[in-house]
């Protein structure tokens, strides 16, 4: 079966070849962290998430905080059936959510694994948003919460940092489709049990790009729920510094001016390597 799961549309047969994401025809998991508390409070909840970090990535950003797993494809390999059993073996009552982290390149396999899975806690699709609308429709059937990271507006920036010249076009369409499929945010005991939380990480020197992303959200999403992140850590070859507190403040003030008050805003002290999971 040839793979067209994401906007790269490599068309490779993953049983014998690898596309841009580096994944083969099994679900590769780099790490599972129990009671993961590093997401937004409505995702981590009081018990923490069951965080599943998938290997490989269809975006492979230069500044990726999880580059050790995203820029390769190692770990434990599972068929969809084995993945389903893996999830079933956890006592899910001990977690607030199931956090599927960077899952896009396993969309077809996860659809198969989770199609009739009745989860007692929300399943969160924690992605880069570089996704196809028809694939979003399929995964909407088993995912409760979308947590897309809306990264760039400018095509030159996305090309330089993520090899994706059409990032904005694809991500904006994917996010609008997520909202169409999960139009209402529903919380149970402070945990987002259905809905969409849009993340945006402000990059050093890219305040204007962040403003354009926020403009798009403000104009196109009726009741946006956002998470404005500033914990950028310079790990790649393009950025040599952290985000300045003033840069974050300018973007934050702009978001508030647009009326984007419903969401999460960060303290920049969190821009530390200690927030990067070790693999
Ligand atoms: S999921 Fe991987 S192989 Fe499939 S189209 Fe995307 S990058 Fe290519």
Is 124's C-beta closer than 6 angstroms to any atom of ligand 1? no
Report whether 41 contacts 21 (CB < 8 A): no
User: What sign for the dihedral angle of Cα 181, 186, 188, 191?
Assistant: positive
- How many angstroms does the Cα of residue 84 sit away from the middle of ligand 1? 22
Whether residue 21 lies inside any domain: the answer is: no
Identify the residue whose tokens are 């978001």.
255
DSSP 127: E
Query: Is 73's C-beta closer than 6 angstroms to any atom of ligand 1?
Result: no
Q: How far is the CA of 251 from the centre of ligand 1 (A)?
A: 33
The position carrying tokens 């996010």 is 175
Ligand 1 atom, smallest distance to 104 CA: 1
In a domain, 114, yes or no: yes
Task: Report if residue 3 sits inside a domain.
Answer: no
- Between CA 171 and CA 162 the distance in angstroms is 13
- The predicted pLDDT at position 268 comes to 67
Start-to-end Cα distance in the chain = 31
pLDDT at residue 273, as a whole number: 41
97 in contact with ligand 1, CB cutoff 6 A: no
Residue numbers of the domain that contains 264: 27-275
Find out whether the beta carbon of 20 lies less than 6 Å from any atom of ligand 1: yes
Determine which residue's CA is closest to atom 4 belonging to ligand 1: 3
Split into its structural domains, the chain has a count of 1
Burial of 50 (0-12, 13-18, 19+ CB in 10 A): buried
Do you know the residue count of the chain?
279
Residue 272 has pLDDT above 80, yes or no: no
* Ligand 1 atom showing the smallest separation from residue 9 Cα: 5
CB 64 within 8 Å of CB 120: no
The domain spanning residue 96 has which CATH number? 3.20.20.70
Please check whether residue 18 lies inside any domain of the structure. no
SS3 5: coil
231 lines ligand 1 (CB under 6 A): no
| Residue 3 Cβ contacting ligand 1 at under 6 Å | yes
Of the candidate ranges 76-80, 93-97, 139-143, 236-240, the one whose mean pLDDT is the lowest: 236-240
Average pLDDT of the chain, as a whole number: 93
Asked if residue 103 belongs to a domain, the reply is yes
Helix (H) or strand (E) holding 157: helix 155-162
Structure-model confidence comparison of residues 68 and 240, the more confident one: 240
Q: Is 275's pLDDT higher than 60?
A: no
Q: What percent of the chain has pLDDT over 70?
A: 96
Task: Tell me whether residue 1 is in a domain.
Answer: no
pLDDT of 15-43, one tens digit each? 999 999 999 999 999 999 999 898 999 99
Per the listing, tokens 């890219």 go with: 206
Q: What is the pLDDT of residue 271?
A: 45
Query: Is ligand 1 within 6 A of the CB of residue 4?
Result: yes
Does 257 fall in a domain?
Answer: yes
Which residue minimizes the CA distance to atom 1 of ligand 1?
A: 105
Q: Is residue 228 a part of any domain in this protein?
A: yes
Identify which has the larger pLDDT, 36 or 181. 181
243-248 average pLDDT score: 94
Tell me how far apart the alpha carbons of residues 240 and 219 are, in angstroms, rounded to a whole number: 33
Q: Kindly provide the b/e burial profile for residues 153-173, where b requires at least 16 CB atoms within 10 angstroms of the residue's own CB.
A: bbeebbeebbebeebbebbbb
Task: Say how far residue 259 (Cα) sits from the centre of its chain.
Answer: 24
Instruction: Assess whether the C-beta atom of 135 lies below 6 angstroms from ligand 1.
Output: no
C-beta 30 within 6 A of ligand 1: no
């Amino acid at each position: 079966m040839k793979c067209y799961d994401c906007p790269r549309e490599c068309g490779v047969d993953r049983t014998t070849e690898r596309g841009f994401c580096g994944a083969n025809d099994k679900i590769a998991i780099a790490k599972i962290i129990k009671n993961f508390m590093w997401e937004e409070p409505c995702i981590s909840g009081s018990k923490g998430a069951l965080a599943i970090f998938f290997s490989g990535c269809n975006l492979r950003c230069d500044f990726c905080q999880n580059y050790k797993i995203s820029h390769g494809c190692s770990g434990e390999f599972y068929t969809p059936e084995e993945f389903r059993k893996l999830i079933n073996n956890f006592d899910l009552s001990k977690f607030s959510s199931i956090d599927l982290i960077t899952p896009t390149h396993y969309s077809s396999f996860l659809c198969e694994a989770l199609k009739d899975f009745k989860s007692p806690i929300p399943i969160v699709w924690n992605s880069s948003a570089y996704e196809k609308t028809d694939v979003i429709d399929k995964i909407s059937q088993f995912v409760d919460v979308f947590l897309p990271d809306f990264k760039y507006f400018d095509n030159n920036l996305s090309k330089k940092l993520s090899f994706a010249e059409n990032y904005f076009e694809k991500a904006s369409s994917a996010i609008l489709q997520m909202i169409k499929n999960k139009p209402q945010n529903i919380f149970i005991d402070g945990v987002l049990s259905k809905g969409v939380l849009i993340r945006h990480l402000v990059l050093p020197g890219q305040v204007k790009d962040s403003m354009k992303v926020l403009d798009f959200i403000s104009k196109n999403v009726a009741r946006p729920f956002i998470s404005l992140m500033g914990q950028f850590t310079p790990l790649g070859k393009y950025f040599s510094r952290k985000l300045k507190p003033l840069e974050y403040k300018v973007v934050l003030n702009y978001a508030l001016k647009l009326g984007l008050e419903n969401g999460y805003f960060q303290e920049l002290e969190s821009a530390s390597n200690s927030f990067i999971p070790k693999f």
